[in-house]
Structure 1
């Protein structure tokens, strides 16, 4: 369905030709950026705090690097006071990355809810994900998508809860820190569950190609007409004014040909999916390496 045209919108008003592929690809790239945020967060927190004790080290000759290597951390968290001061900061970094994922899911679910409504009809949701109304027998509601959207707000609340807990603490260990763990655990659980449900729905989402094409009206091609006139030598302002007088009279009316004609990188006719696929492979390779590293550490500790 990547080449199925749909009206693109700005300010939620009909704007220019778009496609299902461009829409879906935008979220794929955004989630790939979220993976980079997660990787950056992982690198930040991949430090071993052991040996910092209550915030000021100990008077026995411990080898902190040995503990770090044995447990598979990337580095020692050097300053023993900062090892405690960073509590809450590292949790917030994790939650911030999770918030970005949930914000992407929130936007995607909103689009799907709108585009699957009868007034649009571009998408058809699987019935098993659309329970009925407790009162209105004709209703089928996109409840799982709505819950995912609401959970994105819950994640933001968890992030700010964590930030507020540590905002005004003095240096050194404080018992307040124990309250920073629950938001992280909840955030991980909510995000993982939301991703699983979202991709299950997405895998069964249907696209009504005929409805998508029928949704096109002449004014959606107005900008392309302006650019066509400009390419032929008409000054942009003149071309803009000329088309603006009667945008409904634009001659172009083939949405499929229109989206396929835009060949520059990232446009509807050249989505650059190979770039995204390469990023996916890189991310999977990174996950595989970290998982193997973790398994090896556990095996060594059992010896």
Structure 2
């Protein structure tokens, strides 16, 4: 089906294979982000009315129509289709179909470049806020698990070998503290990217007296991103910075998953999850598999791949817009969704963690206390190295 593009006139044609290749999965990304595009378009239209590009009545018609479109998008009844080059086109076509010439005015003073920038920036802000909240919820789940564990002892391990005695609460607490320490990183990242690029147009500003402070306030940005070329320069980089902020908690999630795969194995059997959170085998009826931690481990270990791709694309282009940057959308959305899902599943696992105290107690074997025996001799006046040798000889 022929696509009517915003830049097309009578004899502009694009080969369908080229269109398919260059659009790729971008429409799907824009479908995810469309609500942010609609919100920014409404703010832009409001600003245009303040500088008399639109009349008050024209703005009201546009605002009402955009509100209706937003509602359709939320309900899933408005979809960016193959007839649209992208979500930006879909919005303008919808406004024009509903409002005629009034809809054709909405793109005044902006480009699809700053339209995409502000859409993505709003998405990143929401993701950082939502993920910060999810990390806080996870920390609360750890606090509850720590309280439930009480003083239950467990072996501590180094080199995957028994080392010294510890407690379940101390082990869980190490993860709780680790996740809590990622929160300031998320907060600082949000503060950095909280800049409004709308009004930078194609990266060179615009001759019209756009009120960028107005859209900044209306879209709840902390400040205007003043330099229009920097707006474009930051595309992909702000996405990279945001996804990098998720790496620490993804690392900790992977470490916890690895611990749990060890400690839930039949040889350890320190912990378990409800049956509904494990899977079975198609051939071995006795199996209960902790696939949730295997997928979590793999997701965490492969997460840096998002960073690598974002870095490669953004570092590979100069200033100004290049269509390479289109590909950063899908990478960023996938990385955000992966991080969010990992935190949600991890919180569920921690809340449902069950201690097998019989096996934990049985694992507290004598070799765990060799350092305590050394320290007892030191307290009685023996030199540490002599105490070490004496205790070690008792083990042979």
| TM-score (ref. length: structure 1) | 0.77
Root-mean-square deviation (CA, aligned residues, Å) is: 1.7
Give the count of matched residue pairs: 248
* Aligned mates of 1:123, 1:42 — CA distance in 2: 37
SS at match of 1:134: coil
The residue aligned with 2:208 is 60
The residue aligned with 1:163 is 311
The residue aligned with 1:32 is 180
Shift of the 64–211 alpha-carbon distance from structure 1 to 2, 3 Å rule, reads same
* Aligned mates of 2:395, 2:214 — CA distance in 1: 72
Shift of the 14–65 alpha-carbon distance from structure 1 to 2, 3 Å rule, reads same
The residue aligned with 1:44 is 192
1:208-219 pair list within 5 angstroms: 208-219=356-367
The residue aligned with 2:139 is none
The residue aligned with 1:242 is 390
Does residue 8 (structure 1) correspond to residue 192 (structure 2)? The answer is: no
Unaligned stretches of 5+ residues in structure 1? 249-303
* Aligned mates of 1:16, 1:81 — CA distance in 2: 57
* Aligned mates of 1:57, 1:241 — CA distance in 2: 75
Task: Select 1:230's aligned residue among 375, 378, 382.
Answer: 378
Greater RCO, CA 8 A, separation 6+: 1
Aligned 8 A contact 1:126 1:201 in 2:
no
Q: CA deviation at 1:48?
A: 1.0
When Rg is computed on C-alpha atoms for both structures, the one with the higher figure is 2
* Aligned mates of 1:146, 1:70 — CA distance in 2: 44
The residue aligned with 2:322 is 174
* Aligned mates of 1:247, 1:213 — CA distance in 2: 21
* Aligned mates of 1:159, 1:228 — CA distance in 2: 50
Task: Select 2:332's aligned residue among 172, 179, 184.
Answer: 184
* Aligned mates of 2:182, 2:248 — CA distance in 1: 7
Q: CA deviation at 1:247?
A: 4.4
Shift of the 138–68 alpha-carbon distance from structure 1 to 2, 3 Å rule, reads same
| TM-score (ref. length: structure 2) | 0.60
The residue aligned with 1:18 is 166
* Aligned mates of 2:192, 2:379 — CA distance in 1: 50
The residue aligned with 1:271 is none
Unaligned stretches of 5+ residues in structure 2? 1-148
* Aligned mates of 2:358, 2:252 — CA distance in 1: 28
SS at match of 2:321: coil
